[in-house]
Structure 1
Amino acid sequence: EISTLETGLPNELFDFIFLYLKSIDIIYSFFNLNRRFNDLIYPFLCAIDLSNVDECYLNKYCRTILPQIHHYIKAVKVDDKNLDSVFPLRLYSKIYPNVESVFITKVEKDGKYLSYLKLFKQLINLKIYFGDGEYNETVSNELCLNLFQSDCRLQTLFFDNVYVPINTHIIQRCFSIKKLTIKLHCFNDVYVLLNNLPSIEYVNIEILYVTLRRQQLQQQQNDVHFDYDKNIPSELLKLKHFVFYASFTANYDYLELLLSHCCSNLEYLSLNLYIDQFIDGERLEKKLLSKLTKLK
């Protein structure tokens, strides 16, 4: 049967067939049948998707298949509840010598991922997708304590669905992070964060929504405790892409100050703001756009 498949179907047709199969089933069915099939499924060996998999099936897969393909794997996608099955802490470096990227799905606020942050911060890419039940929750300071540190090697960091606290007493300058997607509590967190990411090239930030009255109270407190003018980040020469969303939580004056003084090399700018300040076209042009000469 294998011989018939091999001689009867072109490679392009297998690529079409693979679109309808899960990556773990492709590997299970075709790995080591012959050299041709190994070449065809090589992309699935490098980036393996183990999310949304039955626990019993996953355990069998970890025992029988993963030991045969572990040296191929560069990226892994897995549900948070199954992290310890896929990444045994004691054998992590031996099982995945070439892994560069980990994508964790269905994460709970106090999930298993917390035990792996010290390991995963040595990767190149880390994306954490929190479950719908955690929507707009605030996660542990462990994220700041482990990931926004000088010994972090991550280049891409992505958080979905939750707000990440930025603790000024914990955060350190991190020279590795180049791409970041994150939700923050307040606008001064943006200043603190960017002050500690000198190599940032892409940033996508959303600020927590609060009622207008609560925002005014917070703003009064922040104006006392946080001096934006003194804490303006150093010039972010590598920052090319800036996406920002805020709903009644950002003072446009300080956003304008940040962009005009620190982001002179921006090529893409997206601002989605709901604010109670009037910004006319003349101000936008003279005080901001005229200084961002590299926008495309």
Structure 2
Amino acid sequence: MFEKNSLTLFDHLPTEIVFEIFDYLSSNDTLYGFLNLNQKYNCILLEYYADLNKFEISIKNSCFLQSILPIIQSRVEYLTITDINSCFSLDLFPNLKSVIISTAFPIYTDEITSLTTSKQFRKLTTLKIHSKILNRNAWSDTFCIYQAVFYHENAFKTFELSSNLDVKVLENTINVNIQSLTIQLSYFRSILILLENTPNLKYFDLTLSSLYFSDPLKKEFDITHIKLKKLLITLGSSINEKNFPIIAYFIKQFSSSLIHLSLNLNSIQLKENQFDGFILQQQLLNSMTQLKNFRIFVTFDKEITEIDTLLSTFQNQFWYDHHWIVGIHRQYLFTLPFHFKKLNNFIDFDEIKLSNLKTPSFLSVWPHVTSIDLSQCNDPNLNLIKQLKMNMPKLTTMILNSKLINSLDTDENVALDNVSTIHCKGEYLQNIKQWLIKIVPNTKHLVLSYEPQSTTSSSNRTVYLHKLDAYFRGQRTTRDYTYFLNIQHVEIKFTLHDVEDIYRHVLRLVREFLEMFKNLKSFIIEFHTNFSNYNSMPFTDLNKMIELLNMDRISQKYHMKHVYNYIQFIKKT
């Protein structure tokens, strides 16, 4: 393989230029495109290419894997897994340090178990699982993963898991190596159990779905021996005057060490004069002796009416000395600069009122926001697109309702070029083509979802699938697919209540979409039903679906996978 002669002048480029070209490619694309091209490029890649230690593994390029793995497997230190199966072992990579599992599709617990039982698993320093995890017969059961990760002999320093968990007990799992945790927990008690097993934790990014405090939980717990430096808390449930003091008490356990504190608090039920700058200062911030960075994003359960009164509680020497500036807009209260990545239902940046009128103008730009959800907005500012363009330079994901898409003007010569993911909720799709062409021309990931309001009307159950077909194909005999050339990933999410509806309409939709999107790499259908028995779920018998789809032609181009209420098609390469 090292004797190939150059066929083009490309191989005469200086090595410095070659590496600049490589900078625009993933390590996988670089290896796929240049390894075995000729002796020169084999030498560059195998001896000088720094990113050779980073690799992405996927079933869609299995032939490539078979040829490349024997050459690079001992060099790989950082592995990203985008598809997984129970036969895969980390022991293929003897020098592996970091694993990221990020699939567009849910994965089963036993597929993760195949990794946790590998010898190389205990040598990892980083594990990040960004996929939804399911059991074979029920929803998420991730306790076995925690038990494996927190085992005291492991080398882990960083662990991230996106799936929710209620930790009741961890045995033989006090791990002194773990310094960084990013997790979602079901109950407050799980926090204390985890922290008792990670005494050297420095970074803790916590999403807590419930603030229910069970009877055994007392306010007087002591975890002051843990010297956290950075704490980020996102609360998914409502906060009131009873549970906020416990949250504050928990945070103050780290008052002597905490440098960075970030709070994302949803659905605050307190009256406006019960949760303000004075309360935060007295109940929480005064005791934080080392705190340098404080960031907060509060969503009240109703729009704030006494804005000036609430802002005045943040206009004293304490807030000025720390240079912590607060803004208010509708039902939102937040510090500026805004450092959170996700923003919901924020539709008019011109109406923000600030605690400090001398705020620098650059604070009006929200450079950290990558995703905005406008699906609950029905009265947008007509200049919304322009405002997003000016204020959110890193915006990549938008979630919208179909009525909003239809109400905003697409004639303005303003495009959100960085947006690559669009999620449209609702059944009215008249202007989706115009959005894809004019507003978000670089969309690569398209998500369409619809849940009918009525569970009895047959028209509500089936009309959405007809509309998808009509709006995307158009009425012409010759179909024009130029709208969709950039789109590589499509997801359809909907609710149906009848097995017949699914077989009759979904199968047709699958065939249409696989033909419609010419550059499609993956297509996912997520359906929700009222079936209580898993065995009665549609498509559990893949053989029946293959037969109904006439899969002979489709299977030549796509891998197909079925998990619970998801069906996935991945294009073969």
1:150 maps to 152
Q: Given the two structures, how large is their TM-score scaled by the length of structure 1?
A: 0.79
Deviations 1:182-230 (A, max 9, x none): 1000112122222221111111111115xxxxx6xx43xx1x222231x
1:285 maps to 281
1:138 maps to 140
1:233 maps to 223
CA distance 1:17–1:62, shift in 2 (3 Å): closer
Structure 1: 5+ residue runs without aligned partners? 210-214
User: Contact 1:74 / 1:98 at 8 angstroms: preserved in 2?
Assistant: yes
**Are positions 1:276 and 2:273 aligned together?**
no
**Are positions 1:246 and 2:238 aligned together?**
no
Work out which structure has the larger RCO, using CA pairs closer than 8 Å and 6 or more positions apart in sequence: 1
Aligned residues: 269
CA distance 1:259–1:10, shift in 2 (3 Å): same
**Are positions 1:68 and 2:71 aligned together?**
yes
- Could you say what secondary structure the match of 2:151 adopts? coil
2:317 maps to none
Larger relative helix fraction: 1
- Could you say what secondary structure the match of 1:194 adopts? helix
Give runs of aligned pairs for residues 1-296 of structure 1, distance below 5 A: 1=6, 4-9=9-14, 11-12=16-17, 14-16=19-21, 18-19=23-24, 21-31=25-35, 33-34=39-40, 35-39=43-47, 41-43=49-51, 45-51=52-58, 53-54=59-60, 57-58=61-62, 60-82=63-85, 84-85=87-88, 87=89, 92=91, 95-106=92-103, 107-119=106-118, 120-131=121-132, 138-160=140-162, 162-168=163-169, 170=171, 172-208=173-209, 218-219=212-213, 222=214, 224-229=215-220, 231-237=221-227, 239-248=228-237, 251-274=243-266, 275-277=268-270, 278-296=274-292
User: Contact 1:126 / 1:156 at 8 angstroms: preserved in 2?
Assistant: yes
Deviations 1:19-65 (A, max 9, x none): 2x45323213333633334455331x1011124x51xx32x233321
Shift of 1:127: 0.8
C-alpha distance in 2, partners of 1:247/1:236?
A: 25
User: Contact 1:140 / 1:164 at 8 angstroms: preserved in 2?
Assistant: yes
Shift of 1:16: 3.2
User: Contact 2:107 / 2:133 at 8 angstroms: preserved in 1?
Assistant: no
- Could you say what secondary structure the match of 2:113 adopts? helix
CA distance 1:82–1:2, shift in 2 (3 Å): farther
- Could you say what secondary structure the match of 1:84 adopts? coil
1:212 maps to none
Q: Given the two structures, how large is their TM-score scaled by the length of structure 2?
A: 0.43
- The two structures, once aligned, show a CA RMSD in angstroms of 2.8
Structure 2: 5+ residue runs without aligned partners? 1-5, 293-573
Shift of 1:158: 0.8
C-alpha distance in 2, partners of 1:2/1:11?
A: 20
User: Contact 1:26 / 1:41 at 8 angstroms: preserved in 2?
Assistant: no
> Match of 1:64, as an amino acid?
S
C-alpha distance in 2, partners of 1:123/1:77?
A: 13
> Match of 1:240, as an amino acid?
K
Deviations 1:110-148 (A, max 9, x none): 3411222243243000011214989xx533320222112
- Could you say what secondary structure the match of 1:235 adopts? coil
| Percent identity of paired positions between Structure 1 and Structure 2 | 22
Quick check: which has more Rg, 1 or 2?
2
2:465 maps to none
User: Contact 2:116 / 2:148 at 8 angstroms: preserved in 1?
Assistant: yes
- Could you say what secondary structure the match of 1:257 adopts? helix
Deviations 1:171-190 (A, max 9, x none): 73211111111100011212
CA distance 1:118–1:279, shift in 2 (3 Å): farther
- Could you say what secondary structure the match of 1:15 adopts? helix
C-alpha distance in 2, partners of 1:138/1:232?
A: 31
Deviations 1:234-258 (A, max 9, x none): 3322x11100011336622122112
> Match of 2:217, as an amino acid?
F
